[in-house]
A and B are shown apart, each in its own frame.
Chain A
Amino acid sequence: MGQIEWAMWANEQALASGLILITGGIVATAGQFAQWYLGAYSIAAGVLICLLEYPRGKRSKGSTMERCGQKYLTRAVKVFGPLTSNYYIRAFLHLGLSVPAGFLLATILGTACLAIASSIYLLAAIHGEHWTPIETKPKERPQVGGTIKQPPSNPPPRPPAEARKKPSEEEVAGVPGGGPQENPMPVTDEVV
């Protein structure tokens, strides 16, 4: 398992935990369970976690599949700098967020999932991983004519002077006129 980037799995787990916290929170709040305010907290924490985890970080090897529409959130997450790119901070943040939800049965599953995500993030941090945003490189405008090294030194080949003066009806398009081509200037074959 040498090449594994634990953060990838931690990210999936944390995103799932966020959704589970939101669901459990809605159940507790809508059902007006005892201490349902913890359910309300759960919804808020879940939303925060989903927003934080939605933009996938860039993998150190290979290309990364972006989640649909993640570039707006990438910009927002990037703003926080080391708070979001350091996985130690993320691990402890998730651990902290999970604790209040552990007091309600409806949200305890979210707590467990988030705690697991937190420990995988800790593992990722120990391995030296950190979050880098996926940025699309600005498209380079193709330089028109950039690959042309020298302007052509010979004029383009033209049909002989006789053919140019009188385009007769019998002449089929594409049939070269008269005899062999006489070049006004010496022409060399440049193909190697």
Chain B
Amino acid sequence: MGNLFVNEGMSIFVILVWLGMNVFLFVWYYRVYDIPDKFFYTRKLLGSALALARAPAACLNFNCMLILLPVCRNLLSFLRGSSACCSTRIRRQLDRNLTFHKMVAWMIALHTAIHTIAHLFNVEWCVNARVNNSDPYSIALSDIGDKPGETYLNFARQRIKNPEGGLYVAVTRLAGITGVVITLCLILIITSSTKTIRRSYFEVFWYTHHLFVIFFIGLAIHGAERIVRGQTAESLLKHKPRECYQNISQWGKIKDCPIPEFSGNPPMTWKWIVGPMFLYLCERLVRFWRSQQKVVITKVVTHPFKTIELQMKKKGFKMEVGQYIFVKCPVVSRLEWHPFTLTSAPEEDFFSIHIRIVGDWTEGLFKACGCDKQEFQDAWKLPKIAVDGPFGTASEDVFSYEVVMLVGAGIGVTPFASILKSIRYKYCNKAPNLRLKKIYFYWLCRDTHAFEWFADLLQLLETQMQKDNAGFLSYNIYLTGWDESQANHFAVHHDEEKDVITGLKQKTLYGRPNWDNEFKTIGSQHPSTRIGVFLCGPEALAETLNKQCISNSDSGPRGVHLIFNKENF
């Protein structure tokens, strides 16, 4: 029993279509350069290295077009919102935008490697033919273009021998210079985007990534010099390669075989990338415009253990549950934007974020908001903030399921704070059309310190739910890191009504949950339902839950289906 297709079907489909397009483009353009007569003489000079260089070039055009699209988050948010009529399945695909971006990036790296290697052979052979270090046929072909009125086939016109000849081509031809520069940019982007660098030194990753601007400009002009040559259409009418190729010494002397004329292909890349470049430019302009809108900090709350809460107001700000915003504080850093999940509910008249103080930027924000001072701060002393967003993530879909499992690990509980608050408001306002009927909430935490601000919320909900709907919310808190002295304390106070740590009626559990049991129990309690499983937490947990969802879902359409949704940045 398991249903891989329910969870992963759409992703697999998208990937197969994308791979299929890559293969198709590769094979198609390989044949364009390997079969027709237009490139007959070019192939005599370069062999199959020509087609092997042009085929990945076509794939590069395709992938460079795609790579900018998944990072236009305002555009994606718009698509997400406007597809409210469409199923959650399609919207879930838009959550995987960063994964797709990375896959396309690796494909670009692969095709760049093939393209570069093939062109290294091309340059070497072209230069060799020019300095008479090749077979006589190639040498003769390369001589075309020396006499006035002739158009050249071999782009290496100077007679400099290898390896200096190759280096000369690289630094004097536009394709050479742009090729080296943009490949270098690509390598720097890739090495600064590895997980270690991204997670620990975000600024290096972010600033180096902006080399993509140079990459795209270089890419657009890479083919402008038109050094990949083929026979012109008019020349093909007068000089048929298959008839004339054997008597090269007679070309121009006999009527049937005039000297062939060659021209370069017009650059094609810009046609592929100009659209996405424009969309991305719009995206950055939207971000900039949004950031200029005035944001007022209405309240700053310091919570224990290096957490602060910022409550803000912005004119026209509308949010849904579980969305996130990007925040910039010019006083701390003029260029950096950092993402934070919104912890307030849409029903409130302000929006709030909870920030853990872990690095340079958060420390700077801490000081700028005056959190290190004891006395009350005047409102005008608070720093100016810029906000971009809100951007939608998986949690928006919570209300479209009948039954949900919410799993938050540590600070990953924040999007669920927003959801639970919203539910409380909906109950207070007696919203009857709530499709959501049952919530199973799991909070996994290493230590007790982070509980405080969230425990208050749970306490409120507990009292609320007791009155109205006792079975609606079932929550379990797991303390995954505990030591002996704590265990003693718990054992002694085991019989008390309220939990010693949280003050809640529901007791805290210790260790990690047995997911197998949990999933089986929930699955059997709600047969024939689509259950949404939402996680904000580490990769390892995501894999565990994903597997559990797949293995506990029924294969048929009538049985229980567990749909896994993961949030990440």
Contacts and interface: CB of A to CB of B under 8 A. Distances in A.
B161 A34 contact: yes
Measured as residues with beta carbon below 8 angstroms from the partner, the interface class of chain B is: 35 or more
13 contacts: A1-B204, A4-B203, A8-B201, A9-B192, A12-B194, A31-B120, A38-B163, A105-B120, A105-B124, A105-B170, A108-B170, A112-B184, A113-B187
A12 B163 CA distance: 29
B231 to A, nearest CB: 27
Given A35-B163, A105-B166, A9 B201 contact: yes
Interface string A1-39: 111110011001100100010011001100101110010
Nearest to B128: A34
Most buried by A among B188, B191, B194, B203: B191
A172 interface: no
Nearest to A14: B191
Contact of A106 (B113, B120, B187): B120
B360 A2 contact: yes
Contacts, number: 94
B113 A23 contact: yes
A-B pairs with the 5 shortest C-beta distances?
A34-B162, A105-B166, A12-B191, A13-B191, A4-B201
Contact of A12 (B113, B116, B184, B192): B192
A33 B188 contact: no
A8 B200 CA distance: 10
A1 B201 CA distance: 8
Contacts of B203: 1, 4
A105 B188 contact: no
B106 interface: no
Interface of A: 1-5, 8-9, 12-13, 16, 20, 23-24, 27-28, 31, 33-35, 38, 56, 59, 62, 65, 103-106, 108-109, 112-113, 116, 147, 191
A173 to B, nearest CB: 24
Contacts of B120: 24, 27-28, 31, 33, 105-106
Contacts of A112: 180, 184
Contacts of A4: 201, 203-204
Contacts of B183: 109
Interface of B, helix, strand, loop or mixed by DSSP: helix
Interface of B: 113, 116-117, 120-121, 123-124, 128, 161-163, 166-167, 169-170, 180, 183-184, 187-188, 190-192, 194-197, 200-201, 203-204, 359-360, 484, 492
Contacts of B191: 9, 12-13, 16
B167 A31 contact: no
A83 B359 CA distance: 32
A33 B163 contact: yes
A3 B359 contact: yes
Contact of A16 (B187, B197, B200, B492): B187
A96 B190 CA distance: 24
Contacts of A104: 163, 166-167
Given A23-B113, A113-B184, A105 B123 contact: yes
Most buried by B among A35, A59, A109: A109
B190 to A, nearest CB: 7
Given A27-B121, A34-B161, 16 more contacts: A1-B360, A3-B360, A9-B201, A12-B196, A13-B187, A33-B162, A33-B163, A35-B163, A38-B163, A103-B167, A105-B120, A105-B124, A105-B163, A105-B170, A109-B183, A112-B184
A62 B201 CA distance: 12
A20 B187 contact: yes
Most buried by A among B128, B162, B163: B163
A1 B197 CA distance: 12
Contacts of A113: 184, 187
B167 A5 contact: no
A106 B492 CA distance: 72
